[in-house]
Amino acid sequence: MVRNMSNIEDREQKKYAPIGVFDSGVGGLTVAREIMRQMPHEKIVYFGDTARVPYGSKSKETVTKFSRQIVRFLQTQNVKAIVVACNTASAVALDEIEQEIDIPMIGVVKPGAKVAARTTRNGKIGVIGTESTIGSQVYSHYIKEIHPDAEVIGKACPLFVPLVEEGLLQDPVTDEIATRYLSELIDIDIDTLILGCTHYPLIRSTVGRIIGDKVTLVNPAYETAIELRNLLEQENLLNDREPRLGENQYSFYVSDAADRFKRFANAILKYGILSAKNVNIEEY
């Protein structure tokens, strides 16, 4: 009985613990942003592996090793759940690492794939992403688990990330590049398009305008935040308390170049980030 009591108390306390979110760099901030929007009471500890970005060109073993180090770091911050806000790590490292830890862990690929599989009417789903995400066919894999007859057409858009990082979110150059990348998906007559890279929600309006309003855009960042909310609710881990005045609700950590990270974060989040701290992630 005593033990049960203490479990309930633990769980009550655990509610107020932060959510850990990590990515290979800055892109995962779009996922953090959705969590902030949908769950304004939650605390977040964000880690961006800016020293070792990008993950896309690295082997499964390396990405798993890096992700495991980050998970260990986030656990030192007493997080109650972990969101893998990185397509590559979600695809190759999540399944293995979630077996090793005792807190819930979710990635960005499955929630996006699930919604796309349920949204399409003509069965033609486009996926845009980095070369590595498209090459891995990971979205196709999860979509076909739910909708085996779906036709999944991937299109790598390597210039989108650098265009976003240069801040050209509304720009004729980005329009022109998007028109080129999306033309074959328009020709194929897809009715659903997954924004399969965490940077892409930032050019969602450009992509939406060019692909046309007959195509439903699926934003995995948004769907991941919904899934996280459901998960926390199920486990009775949703934070129901307003953050206290002066309480540090959001913390940001990076493995390199904190200034550059801050600049990008301040451009996409609604409020200013005061600091991003450097962590020597190889020690974890």
State the minimum distance, in angstroms, from the CB of residue 172 to a copy of itself.
7
Q: How far apart are alpha carbons 230 and 258 in whole angstroms?
A: 32
Residue among 251 and 278 whose Cβ is closer to a copy of itself: 278
CB proximity list for 151: less than 8 A, separation 6 or greater: 123, 124, 125
Q: How far apart are alpha carbons 94 and 191 in whole angstroms?
A: 29
State the minimum distance, in angstroms, from the CB of residue 262 to a copy of itself.
14
Residue pair 85/28 in contact by the 8 Å Cβ criterion: yes
Residue among 153 and 159 whose Cβ is closer to a copy of itself: 159
**86 an active-site residue?**
yes
Q: How far apart are alpha carbons 201 and 108 in whole angstroms?
A: 13
State the minimum distance, in angstroms, from the CB of residue 139 to a copy of itself.
20
**197 an active-site residue?**
yes
Residue among 33 and 58 whose Cβ is closer to a copy of itself: 58
Residue among 98 and 256 whose Cβ is closer to a copy of itself: 256
State the minimum distance, in angstroms, from the CB of residue 14 to a copy of itself.
36
Kindly name the residue from 197, 202, 232, 268 that is annotated as catalytic. Answer: 197
Residues in contact with a copy of itself by CB under 8 A are: 50-51, 53, 57-59, 62, 131, 158-159, 161-163, 165-166, 172-173, 176-177, 256-257, 260
Whole-Å CA distances, 246 to 169, 252, 273: 33, 16, 14
Please state at what angle helix 138-146 crosses helix 109-119, rounded to 10 degrees: 50
Kindly name the residue from 19, 35, 86, 281 that is annotated as catalytic. Answer: 86
Instruction: List residues with catalytic annotation.
Output: 86, 197
